[in-house]
Copies of this chain bind each other. A is one copy, B any other.
């Protein structure tokens, strides 16, 4: 009981040894991350089709829950681009964007993602992440990045979403966007050297430069309010309510059954994707710090965070690579950094929202666009093409379906294609006919080496585990090989590359043995691996084997030749 509690809430471990030194590191890091999170969280809220303030809500309670349940010391959870676009895609397929029920369905989706992650963590279903191959993930993320870019362009151009007419461009909005882009670029690449040149200490210069999205935001709020941009037709955030995050359990429970059903598959996919992303970030950071993480605890923590987001007016959250890096460099020591960050965001939601009113949407859109670089990875297409045509097919299919149909279909197409290609590839394993390298006890492929063979003995080495996808191929291959070598009396399967044999593989071995017996040929095995033999030795197949099981293939050949 107590150990379960400690398992589920790793915070109970580190909180006992928490020191003043840790507090200093965590507080500093929280302050830096807050400067980054305020504009990002609102931008990702708008991307998800939610009001800007939902970004702040999604950064309070979820961060506290993650801090209590997570095992990574530096991971930065919260709103992130990929989940926001998946959220808006999934929800708008059920409820039209702008409809009164859109917000409640988004809350329900976040809660559902949380429940899936909690279940996956509790039942240790991390293997589900295995269904998403790297190329599929890459194709999906790159296509999503393009979709995000397309969704943000109208905000920068000042055109209505549906219009692509140059006459509808809004020059002032365009100028604001260009200015914000320039500001972000200068902040990222020029601010730190400039401050250092002015004699500012390196630590301060670094922090100031990191927070440049906030400075850009403050600058443009001031300009917008001063010059009355809203009246000139620049879209702004508008009135943002002040107060605590709302308790939205009632709203979520009020969502109708049909909506829940339609959100099931997207929620499962978002949950798996969130987990994959989070573990990859957490493992990278843990490796750098020589720490270890508990994968199941991570899943449960992100599940708790998403559930909290759904119940407190937020939307689906996940790990952010950029904020995690910033947080780690700024000196975060324990997950408590997230509690401090949540506190700062809460203060923002309580007291500073009136200041946000004049913020042009174009500035937030540019914030998103400038961060897309990490999602778009076209180089990986070329790399995959060079290494594996099959993987490239899966990647290209995922990319095209994600762009051309929708995100859920794209991801599903990728998963199905990966599985099909895997089964296709496994269904035709390499099976070498082997012979003796003269003067040694080694046996090698007759096609690659000069080897000695004997007409009465056929040595075959399947270079793959035997399972349902390739079991019948082995039957066919043995049948063909025996027909091609009419004098054969003994078939010896060299099993050194067989890591596992499932029930289908076993049944195929029985079939092969039966068919060989019908032809007066004995079946032998050699070099069977320990764990494989452990399972085989109690089977009728081995008990009634027409031949023998030999420790080495050389032993098999010399014994059979001497008969």
Give A residues with C-beta under 8 Å from B.
127, 129-136, 276, 279-280, 283-284, 286-288, 290-292, 295, 383-384, 386-388, 390-392, 395, 418-419, 422-430, 448, 463-465, 467-473, 475-476, 479-480, 483, 486, 497, 499-500, 502-504, 506-508, 511, 514-516, 518-519, 529-531, 535, 538-540
For A388, the chain B residues whose CB sits under 8 A away are: 502-503, 535
Oligomer copy total: 2
**What residue in chain B is nearest A127 (Cβ atoms)?**
B427
For A292, the chain B residues whose CB sits under 8 A away are: 479-480, 483
For A134, the chain B residues whose CB sits under 8 A away are: 468, 471, 503-504, 507-508
Q: How far is the CB of A416 from chain B (nearest CB, A)?
A: 10
Q: Is the CB of B468 within 8 A of A422?
A: yes
For A464, the chain B residues whose CB sits under 8 A away are: 465, 499-500
Greatest chain B CB density within 10 A among A469, A476, A497 is at A469
Q: Is the CB of A423 within 8 A of B130?
A: yes
List 11 interface pairs A-B (beta carbons < 8 Å), by A numbering. Answer: A127-B427, A130-B472, A130-B473, A131-B468, A133-B504, A283-B479, A286-B479, A390-B502, A422-B467, A422-B468, A464-B499
Q: Is the CB of A475 within 8 A of B133?
A: no
The 3 A-B residue pairs with the shortest CB-CB distance, nearest first, are A133-B468, A287-B515, A391-B503
Q: How far is the CB of A389 from chain B (nearest CB, A)?
A: 10
For A500, the chain B residues whose CB sits under 8 A away are: 425, 464
**What residue in chain B is nearest A132 (Cβ atoms)?**
B468
For A419, the chain B residues whose CB sits under 8 A away are: 419, 423
**Could you tell me the distance between the alpha carbons of A427 and B422 in the complex, rounded to whole angstroms?**
14
**Could you tell me the distance between the alpha carbons of A254 and B468 in the complex, rounded to whole angstroms?**
40
Q: Is the CB of B479 within 8 A of A426?
A: no
Q: Is the CB of B502 within 8 A of A463?
A: no
Q: Which of B276, B288, B503 contacts A518 (CB 8 A)?
A: B288
For A422, the chain B residues whose CB sits under 8 A away are: 467-469, 502
For A497, the chain B residues whose CB sits under 8 A away are: 497, 499
Contact flag A518-B287 (CB < 8 Å), given A129-B472, A388-B503: yes
For A424, the chain B residues whose CB sits under 8 A away are: 127
**Could you tell me the distance between the alpha carbons of A442 and B75 in the complex, rounded to whole angstroms?**
42
Contact flag A130-B463 (CB < 8 Å), given A391-B502, A515-B283: no
**Could you tell me the distance between the alpha carbons of A130 and B538 in the complex, rounded to whole angstroms?**
26
Q: Which of B418, B514, B518 contacts A468 (CB 8 A)?
A: B418
**Could you tell me the distance between the alpha carbons of A492 and B287 in the complex, rounded to whole angstroms?**
17
**Could you tell me the distance between the alpha carbons of A295 and B475 in the complex, rounded to whole angstroms?**
12
Q: Is the CB of A287 within 8 A of B516?
A: yes
Q: Which of B279, B395, B499, B504 contacts A391 (CB 8 A)?
A: B504
For A131, the chain B residues whose CB sits under 8 A away are: 423, 468-469
**Could you tell me the distance between the alpha carbons of A423 and B420 in the complex, rounded to whole angstroms?**
12
Q: How far is the CB of A491 from chain B (nearest CB, A)?
A: 12
**Could you tell me the distance between the alpha carbons of A535 and B463 in the complex, rounded to whole angstroms?**
16
**What residue in chain B is nearest A507 (Cβ atoms)?**
B134
**What residue in chain B is nearest A416 (Cβ atoms)?**
B419
**Could you tell me the distance between the alpha carbons of A468 and B423 in the complex, rounded to whole angstroms?**
12
Q: How far is the CB of A381 from chain B (nearest CB, A)?
A: 11
Q: Is the CB of A428 within 8 A of B287?
A: no
**Could you tell me the distance between the alpha carbons of A473 and B295 in the complex, rounded to whole angstroms?**
11
Q: Is the CB of A430 within 8 A of B499?
A: yes
Q: Is the CB of A279 within 8 A of B472?
A: yes
Q: Which of B283, B423, B429, B538 contacts A475 (CB 8 A)?
A: B283
Q: How far is the CB of A132 from chain B (nearest CB, A)?
A: 7
Q: Is the CB of B127 within 8 A of A476?
A: no
Contact flag A287-B479 (CB < 8 Å), given A134-B508, A448-B530: yes
Q: How far is the CB of A157 from chain B (nearest CB, A)?
A: 37
Contact flag A290-B519 (CB < 8 Å), given A130-B427, A388-B502, A468-B422: yes
